[in-house]
Amino acid sequence: MSLYRVNHRDVPEQKVICLQGVVNAFELPAFLQQGLTTLAGHAAAHQTEIAGAPFVLYHEPVNEDEAGAVELCLPVEEAVPTTEAISLKLDRAHREMYVTLKYHQVQEGNLMGAYDKIRLLMPAKGLRPEGSPREVYFNFNPTPDLNEAFLDVAFTVVPQGCCGGSLTCAGPSADQTIC
C-alpha cells in the first residue's frame, strides 16, 4: 500500500475569516497557533460558531531559507465584521484532491511527498490545480497522538482547460478572485 493515498472530495461553499502573513518554515507553527487563537477569539466575540477545520493557503513557497505568503482561514457559520488584520471571504464550492497524513508522517518528512504525489496524479486524471494549495488541519494539540490524522494536503482541482478561482472576497470586491 502506498504511503500517499490520494482521495477526492467536494467541498461546499463556506464563509471563512482569514489572517495573512509572510513566514518561513521556522515561523510557521507560531503563526498558525497564534493566528488560530486570534481567529477563534474573533468568531467567539461576534457570537458565531466555527464551521469546520482551519486551513492554510500557501500562496508562495515556504521553507527554511525563504519566507512566503500564507493565509490562515477558519470556516465560520455567520459573516462577522472585518478588522485591519482579519478578512472575511467566501470559499466557493469546489472539488479537491487530497492526501491525509498522520502526525508521525509529517514529523518524518513526508509532507512534500504528498504534494508531489497529488501534482503527479492530476494530469493522469485530466485535472489541473486551481489556486493555491492548502493544508487542512484537524489537530492543533501541542502533543498530538503520533498515529492520529493530523492534516490533509489538498489541491482544488478542475478539468484541464477550465478556469476560475475558489476563494473570493466578500464585500465591495466580491467578484475579485483571490486564488
**Residue 12 gets which letter from DSSP?**
-
- Report pTM: 0.86
Average pLDDT, the chain: 89
pLDDT tens sequence across 129-173: 999 999 999 877 767 788 888 999 999 999 987 655 554 444 333
CB 8 within 8 A of CB 99: no
Q: What is the pLDDT of residue 97?
A: 98
Q: Where are the domains of the chain?
A: 6-165
Please check the confidence at residue 177 and state whether its pLDDT lies above 50. no
**Residues facing 71 on adjacent strands:** 20, 57
Least trusted range by pLDDT, from 31-35, 124-128, 136-140: 136-140
Tell me the one-letter amino acid at 83: T
Could you tell me which of 142, 161, 140, 160 has the C-alpha nearest to residue 150? 140
Match domain 6-165 to its CATH number in 3.20.80.10, 3.40.50.80, 3.10.20.340, 3.30.450.90.
Answer: 3.20.80.10
Residues 6 or more apart whose CB falls under 8 angstroms from that of 99 comprise 4, 5, 6, 7, 114, 117, 118, 152, 153, 154
What value does the CA radius of gyration of the chain take, rounded to a whole number of Å? 16
Which has more pLDDT, 37 or 109?
A: 37
